[in-house]
Structure 1
Amino acid sequence: MSGTDRPQHPADLPDRLAEVFDLVGPLYRRAHRKVEQDAPIEGLPVGVRAVLVLLREHGPMTVPQMGRAQALSRQFVQRMINDAAARGLVESVPNPAHKRSALIRLTEEGTAAITAVLARERAVLSQAGDGLTDADLTACIRVLTHLLHFLDNVDVD
């Protein structure tokens, strides 16, 4: 794409992107509060839920891999793994690629717990989409993905 072929952005693009960030923070916090309020059935704190979702989506991972994937400290992820292990939701297995960094995987109980949580969340979200189109959601996902990639790759001094 040449410089003249680039899409034109509105002059207020930085302000519009700030609006996105101003909405994402409260949305994230409210969603997590709702999960914690509704999770007593499985008793899953938000951090444990996040680890279980990651393992469900990607299979066994090391604690450092999970930290990088979620942009969280290894120490925080380890605490969440310890909590999940104490609940019987995850287990450590040998890692053929690295003797000192075990792989963490879901147990049957962990798979059942995260599947139940996600099913409940999907049921609630099915009611949240009134008035939204597939194009709306596609644009939203495209914008948020773009911002996430930008923030992962930008150097701020």
Structure 2
Amino acid sequence: MGPLYRRAHRKVEQDAPIEGLSVGVRAVLVLLREHGPMTVPQLGRAQALSRQFVQRMINDAAARDLVESMPNPAHKRSSLIRLTEEGRAAITAVLDRERAVLRQAGGDLTEADVTACIRVLTHLLHFLDHVDVD
């Protein structure tokens, strides 16, 4: 897993500048695209990152008009962050380009292979999210 993660991460870092997005801003935009408006603390928890780091990524994205704040009816002091049209277009372009590249990686993998891989990785993520390491 380590070598695959490092190579994939490096590829994302290399390709992100094509759209002018850092890896951190890209991650925030992906979450907002998948889940809709979220607070900075929610974005941090979803990525296991500090609120401060996520806030810097939000600030970077907002400076480029990729995200905007909106009132949060559930919490007066914690605004919701949502994608702008520009943000949605930017992250869609990044994901479309990545998917086009990844489609070439399939080789002779079957749908059953991919389904089994997703099941195993999902199980590992769930396990790691809930295991106590003391």
Greater Rg over alpha carbons, structure: 1
Work out the CA distance in 1 between the residues paired with 2:64 and 2:3.
30
Instruction: Give the structure-1-normalised TM-score.
Output: 0.82
Contact residue 39 and residue 81 of structure 2 kept, 8 A:
yes
Work out the CA distance in 1 between the residues paired with 2:53 and 2:76.
22
Query: Which residue is equivalent to 1:28?
Result: 5
| Equivalent residues in 2 for 1:14-93, closer than 5 Å | 23=1, 25-93=2-70
Work out the CA distance in 1 between the residues paired with 2:41 and 2:6.
25
Instruction: Give the structure-2-normalised TM-score.
Output: 0.95
Size of the aligned set, in residue pairs, is: 134
Work out the CA distance in 1 between the residues paired with 2:107 and 2:77.
49
Contact residue 93 and residue 103 of structure 1 kept, 8 A:
yes
Q: Following TM superposition, by how much is the alpha carbon of 1:29 offset from its aligned partner in structure 2, in angstroms?
A: 2.5
SS of aligned partner of 2:82: strand
Q: Following TM superposition, by how much is the alpha carbon of 1:40 offset from its aligned partner in structure 2, in angstroms?
A: 2.6
- Unpaired stretches in structure 2, ≥5 consecutive residues: none
Q: What amino acid does structure 1 have at the position aligned with 2:9?
A: H
Work out the CA distance in 1 between the residues paired with 2:17 and 2:50.
26
Identity level (%): 90
